[in-house]
Amino acid sequence: MRICKAGWPFVLGCFVTAILLSALAKSVHSAFMGFLAGVGFLAAAFCAYFFRDPSRIVPLGDQFIVSPADGKVVDISEGNDPAWAEPIWVMRIFLSVFEPHLQRSPIQGQVRKIVYTTGKFLDARHPQAHFENEQNRLEIIASNPKLRGPIVVTQIAGLIARRIVCWVKEGGSLQAGEQFGLIRFGSQVDIVLPRTVELKVKKGDHVEAGSTVIAEV
């Protein structure tokens, strides 16, 4: 199982702590220290699982828009966005702690704008989470000329997720399915789509980042 680079400090930190606690438990003959060592090993295993980096097959063709995150589609609704003059689709994807938390670009294009907003840490399923929680918003201009406005992807922190990581910079280029960020630990990712696209998923569907086609131009 491949682990993303950002996860190794957590995996190794828990593992080394567990080793030290185990050695201490043996030296002082402490059952409680042994229990803590066991917890440390379990934490290391969970971190390795959480920060896994699964391989994905990205569909060929710039007409496809792929999911930016792994998780469950909890809402698809008509809305408005500052980057668009006309109504758009807003798709919200909930990531449980058991999902891979790497985010991938839904299209090939260039990052026009990145806005990081500090905020609260409500449960990602809270109806106000996407308004009030800490979040990072990317506006991506598609290489496909048929998409005249930006595809907007927003990484949203949750109750447990206290850190949003974004590796791409404004002006940077992304390939469809390319990794651009990470959220630790449970969270939500929203994507803004023009009403002109044909949606390929519905509320309740499970999607995979980089491989599930969520819309087609």
Q: What are the residue numbers of the active site?
A: 187
Distance CA(30)–CA(14), nearest Å, equals 19
CA distance 172 to 112: 8
- What is the SS3 assignment for 50? helix
In single-letter form, the type of residue at position 151 comes to I
Other CB atoms within 10 Å distance of the CB of residue 116:
11
Element (H, E) at 38: helix 31-50
CA–CA distance, 180 with 144 (Å, rounded to integer) = 20
At residue 39, the 3 state secondary structure works out as helix
What is the C-alpha separation between 54 and 78, in angstroms, rounded? 32
